[in-house]
């Protein structure tokens, strides 16, 4: 049984039956059968389906957004914006897929030699709850436009969102089997990966779960793309516009109630401006109180589940016991809702959970560095490498540090890290490997074939 619980009310939304072994096999069969005919369509024909789906998401963003808000507590305005971003990304691949997959002529001693891009077959997507639509559609765009079919194993607590996606695909007239939602628990994933009709896996989630998926896929010699945890460093140099930096850091840390792999998590501040930045960050946090996720004015909703909230609070308490100080927040509010208040911890040092671990919720860690060199060293002193940001009024310096010094898949200067259909997205170290989005993402799940004619 898959259970969906509203984290604001604590009320069970619905219980969903898990797929039987027979149904799982039927769905894999359907995806495998569809791969042949779907791949034979022209890219323009596949693009037409994606465009229609994008229009559907725009037309149904209020209702679909409400489902996300009910299932995982995302503020409704952010749920709607998430669907708008999904629609944009589908349009992007519909418009650019043909160019991305165009044969590449290579001059050799052959009479003709070129590289062509063929679909692999069926791709399994194992997706998390924090962005229940975006995570799926950003994978779906490149997977489907390149001629693959897709199986989705969604997080159990957002099964309603998964079913809404299946409904969208069906109502847009996608051929049977091109997209299939698997209503299964995590312990059934390994058998799906092992199935010879499944050719590759894309996974977004925790580093520990990613290791298990990678090990299973590697055991069957199947391609994987992994987008895992992050503990993004936002470096505030002494020449930064501190008010602007604090505003961006607050927006990034509290977006999606802090439940984002690329949220600002560690604010590394040069010592001469640390006290001023702390004051400005507190002011920015105070402008974002938590509240009813269904209210369009709410900027910080509930966390997705009470157990996740409790684990976050445990990390905060352990950090305080080790010497961190609370600037604001740091407590569990009364009531049934899975709220955790926007929290700032200062005097964070090495060895604390707030320094070493990913805090997946609305908690900011302030770490003081004596100078620029130490700030960069602290930023890189982590097992993660997903994103990071640098704040400075010296753009040449910002460009140099972002390009050469910070070890991460994405580094932004004077703004928050975000994913964009036009740019590759992914991490290094324990944040995973492979890339999603852009022309790079579409090449992850194709056979890059050399053709040589003498």
Which residues does the annotation mark as catalytic?
227, 261
Strand stretches in 206-351, DSSP E: 223-227, 232-236, 264-270, 325-328, 343-346
Integer Cα distance of 372 and 395 in angstroms: 15
Assess contact for 410 and 234: CB atoms under 8 A.
no
Assess contact for 15 and 1: CB atoms under 8 A.
yes
β-bridge pairing 149-153 and 179-182: parallel
Instruction: Give the long-range contacts of residues 326-329, CB within 8 A, separation 24 or more.
Output: 327/278, 327/281, 327/282, 327/366, 328/282, 328/285, 328/286, 329/285, 329/362, 329/363
Q: Which two tokens stand for residue 318?
A: 């352990």
Helix (H) or strand (E) holding 201: strand 200-204
Integer Cα distance of 369 and 182 in angstroms: 48
Best CA proximity match to 165, nearest among 203, 125, 132, 187 = 132
List C-alpha distances in Å: 53 to 50, 167, 406: 5, 11, 38
Please state the φ and ψ torsions of residue 32, each to the nearest 5 degrees.
Answer: -65, -45
């Amino acid at each position: 049984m898959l259970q969906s619980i509203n984290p604001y009310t604590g009320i069970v939304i619905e219980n969903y039956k898990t797929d039987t072994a027979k149904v799982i096999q039927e769905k894999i069969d359907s995806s495998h059968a569809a791969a042949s005919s779907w791949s034979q369509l022209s890219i323009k024909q596949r693009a037409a389906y994606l465009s229609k789906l994008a229009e559907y998401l725009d037309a149904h963003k209020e209702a679909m957004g409400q489902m996300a808000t009910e299932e995982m507590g995302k503020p409704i305005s952010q749920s709607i914006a998430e669907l708008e971003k999904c629609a944009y990304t589908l349009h992007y691949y519909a418009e650019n897929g043909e160019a991305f997959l165009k044969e590449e002529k290579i001059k050799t001693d052959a009479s003709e030699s070129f590289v062509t891009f063929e679909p692999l077959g069926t791709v399994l997507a194992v997706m998390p709850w924090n962005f229940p639509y975006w995570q799926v559609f950003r994978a779906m765009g490149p997977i489907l436009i390149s001629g693959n079919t897709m199986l989705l194993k969604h997080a159990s607590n957002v099964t309603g969102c998964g079913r809404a996606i299946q409904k969208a695909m069906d109502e847009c007239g996608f051929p049977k089997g091109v997209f299939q939602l698997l209503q299964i628990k995590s312990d059934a994933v390994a058998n799906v990966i092992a199935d010879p009709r499944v050719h590759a896996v894309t996974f977004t989630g925790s580093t520990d779960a990613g290791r298990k998926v990678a090990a299973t896929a590697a055991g069957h010699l199947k391609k994987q793309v992994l987008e895992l945890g992050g503990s993004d460093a936002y470096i505030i140099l002494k020449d930064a516009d501190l008010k602007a930096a604090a505003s961006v850091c607050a927006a990034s840390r509290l977006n999606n109630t802090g439940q984002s792999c690329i949220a600002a998590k560690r604010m590394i501040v040069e010592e001469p401006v640390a006290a001023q930045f702390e004051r400005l960050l507190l002011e920015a946090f105070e402008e974002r109180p938590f509240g009813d996720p269904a209210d369009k004015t709410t900027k910080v909703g509930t966390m997705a589940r009470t157990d996740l909230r409790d684990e976050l609070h445990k990390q905060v308490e352990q950090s305080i016991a080790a010497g961190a100080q609370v600037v604001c927040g740091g407590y569990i509010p009364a009531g049934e809702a899975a709220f955790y208040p926007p929290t700032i911890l200062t005097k964070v040092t090495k060895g604390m959970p707030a320094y070493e671990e990913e805090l997946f919720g609305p908690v900011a860690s302030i770490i003081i560095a004596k100078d620029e060199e130490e700030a960069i060293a602290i930023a890189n002193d982590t097992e993660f490498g997903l994103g990071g940001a640098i704040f400075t009024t010296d753009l040449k310096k910002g460009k140099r540090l972002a390009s050469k010094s910070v070890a991460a898949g994405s580094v932004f200067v004077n703004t928050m890290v975000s994913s964009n259909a036009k740019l590759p997205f992914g991490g290094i170290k324990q944040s995973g490997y492979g890339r999603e989005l852009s022309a790079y993402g579409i090449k992850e799940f194709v056979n890059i074939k050399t053709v040589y004619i003498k």
